[in-house]
Amino acid sequence: MLAAHVPKIMQDEDTEKGNSYQDIFLEIGKSNIKEIIQNGEIEILAILLDLMGMGCLKEDQIIENGSLRIAGRHQTSFWRELIKQVSQFGSEAYKLEVITKFQSVFSRLIT
């Protein structure tokens, strides 16, 4: 499976492959967003967050070539849609259950 390749991409800091994998996992996520929410599948979400963070610089580093970073902004519409879908699902109790399942993902997303 594609997910098995992500740790190696991260370790090698291969941003070219990272961008390609981000595109693939974004499409998988967009196509299966309701199933991800209903089944509490966080693997795809965790992979997207890992790829989004790839290539981020520490405060004391200077970047000379923008291609050394993953363009995480391409994920914005996916995350917006995920949150929108969660807010439209079922009762308030069910929404709270879903938010609780995805708490670790949402925490990573906002930090």
pLDDT for position 104: 94
Q: What is the DSSP string of 56-110?
A: PPPTT---S-GGGS--GGGGHHHHHHHHHHHHHSS-HHHHHHHHHHTHHHHHHHH
Instruction: Record the tokens describing residue 106, joined without a space.
Output: 């949402």
Angle, helices 103-110 vs 92-101, to 10°: value is 70
Phi-psi region of 90 (alpha: psi -120 to 50; beta: other; left: phi over 0): left
pLDDT for position 68: 55
pLDDT at 21 over 90: yes
Instruction: Record the tokens describing residue 27, joined without a space.
Output: 């499409």
Burial class for 83, CB neighbours closer than 10 Å (0-12, 13-18, 19+): middle
pLDDT for position 54: 77
For residue range 36-72, list pLDDT tens digits in order. 999 999 999 999 999 887 765 444 444 454 455 666 6
The residue extents of the domains of the chain are: 2-110
Q: Tell me which of 65 and 97 has the higher pLDDT.
A: 97
In angstroms, what CA-CA distances link 71 with 15, 32, 63, 79, 97?
9, 22, 14, 14, 31
For residue range 3-17, list pLDDT tens digits in order. 999 999 988 888 889
pLDDT for position 16: 87
